[in-house]
């Protein structure tokens, strides 16, 4: 049994990761401030290996005490995404950057930290902008800029792994419908249409359950993988926004796709990402983009409100 601290463990990712860690027999402590009023971990309270702390990751003394009691740290607490970070730059800075730096200061050399970063750090380029872990970073949003800074500090800790996640999709007990795939499927289900700006811009995608699986994979193969950065995405899903919408239209035939002739997408990411490095460690995603679209169509029968966003 490994003792694991998950910050922000009741969020979109944590609500999938934490149950999976418990199922593997680990002892998991979650700290979360529950700003979205979620009860996504309620079903875990019966589990004797699950501990829950309601608190803020910016509370230095609280975090110091929790770090000292655990073997592995998975920092998920963050304001995630470019829009919310632009809207609330103070909290974005204090949570996404400052609180992580404080956390690093409390970790001993022997403790393990496995952290999600983002392949949005690759920024934008032309249609041949193929990115590996060695490619130059050109972050555009404040969210990506802070993640780049944190990743640099993270790799100073010898017992660490950075997973540069592709755009995540799929259902979660703490749902987010503002992520690109989730958003487009929601629009297809309820609006039956979408207007695309700069529809040729490409990015990579990954199912939320495969994100959880890669954390467990990194933990189980830590001695082989430590000290490295890994892109995590679907190698067959480096798709433009238009290509993504056409995938959705295959399952929702009445979905109408309108390409805007003018206008600019505020998120200027545009890249093709290689996931070869993580695949060479033996990791393979289990859930396709098509699986996720089908799941979301089913899940949205339960959701028809705007509360499931970060802004």
- Domain boundaries in the chain? 3-169+205-234+273-286
Contacts of residue 143, Cβ cutoff 8 Å, sequence gap at least 6: 79, 80, 81, 82, 84, 85, 92, 96, 118, 120
The confidence score (pLDDT) of residue 81 equals 82
| Alpha helix segments (H runs only) across the chain | 14-23, 60-68, 82-87, 89-92, 99-106, 142-154, 180-190, 208-220, 222-225, 241-249, 276-279, 289-299
d(CA 174, CA 10): 7
Note the pLDDT tens digit of each residue in 264-276. Answer: 766 678 899 999 9
Do β-strands 202-207 and 238-240 pair in parallel, antiparallel, or remain unpaired? antiparallel
The confidence score (pLDDT) of residue 61 equals 96
Q: What angle do CA 253, 273, 11 make, to 5 degrees?
A: 70
What is the residue-averaged pLDDT of the chain?
93
CA 167, chain centre distance (Å): 7
Note the pLDDT tens digit of each residue in 56-110. Answer: 999 999 999 999 999 999 999 988 888 888 888 888 899 999 999 999 999 999 9
Write b or e for each residue in 265-276: b if 16 or more Cβ atoms lie within 10 A of its Cβ, otherwise e: eebebbbbbbbe
Closest CA to 140 of 203, 77, 230, 78: 203
Question: What single-letter DSSP state applies at residue 137?
Answer: P
d(CA 200, CA 241): 6
- In this prediction the pTM is 0.95
Query: What pLDDT band is residue 183 in, cutting at 50, 70 and 90?
Result: very high
Average of per-residue pLDDT across 282-308: 91
CATH domain 3-169+205-234+273-286 topology? Rossmann fold (3.40.50)
d(CA 294, CA 289): 9
Query: What pLDDT band is residue 177 in, cutting at 50, 70 and 90?
Result: very high
- A 10 A CB-CB count for 258 gives 11
The confidence score (pLDDT) of residue 72 equals 98
Query: What pLDDT band is residue 125 in, cutting at 50, 70 and 90?
Result: low
d(CA 28, CA 121): 30
The confidence score (pLDDT) of residue 305 equals 66
Flag whether pLDDT at 8 surpasses 70: yes
């Amino acid at each position: 049994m490994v003792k694991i601290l998950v910050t922000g463990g009741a969020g979109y990712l944590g609500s999938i990761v934490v149950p999976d860690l418990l199922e593997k027999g680990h002892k998991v402590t979650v700290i979360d401030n529950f700003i979205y009023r979620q009860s996504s971990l309620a079903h875990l309270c019966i589990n004797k290996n699950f501990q829950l702390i309601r608190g803020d990751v910016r509370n230095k003394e609280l975090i110091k005490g929790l770090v000292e009691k655990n073997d592995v740290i998975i920092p998920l607490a963050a304001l995630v995404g470019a829009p919310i970070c632009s809207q609330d730059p103070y909290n974005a800075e204090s949570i996404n950057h400052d609180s992580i730096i404080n956390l690093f200061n409390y970790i001993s050399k022997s403790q393990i930290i496995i952290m999600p970063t983002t392949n949005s750090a690759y920024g934008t380029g032309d249609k041949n902008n193929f990115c590996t872990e060695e490619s130059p970073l050109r972050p555009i949003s404040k969210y990506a800029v802070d993640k780049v800074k944190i990743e640099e500090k993270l790799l100073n800790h010898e017992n660490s792994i950075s997973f540069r996640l592709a755009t995540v999709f799929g259902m979660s007990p703490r749902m987010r419908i503002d992520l690109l795939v989730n958003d487009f499927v929601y629009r297809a289900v309820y609006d039956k249409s979408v207007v695309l700006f700069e529809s040729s811009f490409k990015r990579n995608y990954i199912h939320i359950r495969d994100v959880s699986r890669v954390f467990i994979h990194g933990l189980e193969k830590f001695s082989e993988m430590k000290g490295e950065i890994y892109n995590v995405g679907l190698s067959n899903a480096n798709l433009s926004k238009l290509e993504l919408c056409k995938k959705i239209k295959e399952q929702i035939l009445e979905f109408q796709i309108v390409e805007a002739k003018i206008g600019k997408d505020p998120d200027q990411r545009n890249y093709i990402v290689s996931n070869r490095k993580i695949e060479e460690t033996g990791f393979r995603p289990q859930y396709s983009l098509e699986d996720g679209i089908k799941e979301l169509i089913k899940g949205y029968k339960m959701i028809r409100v705007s509360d499931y966003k970060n802004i």
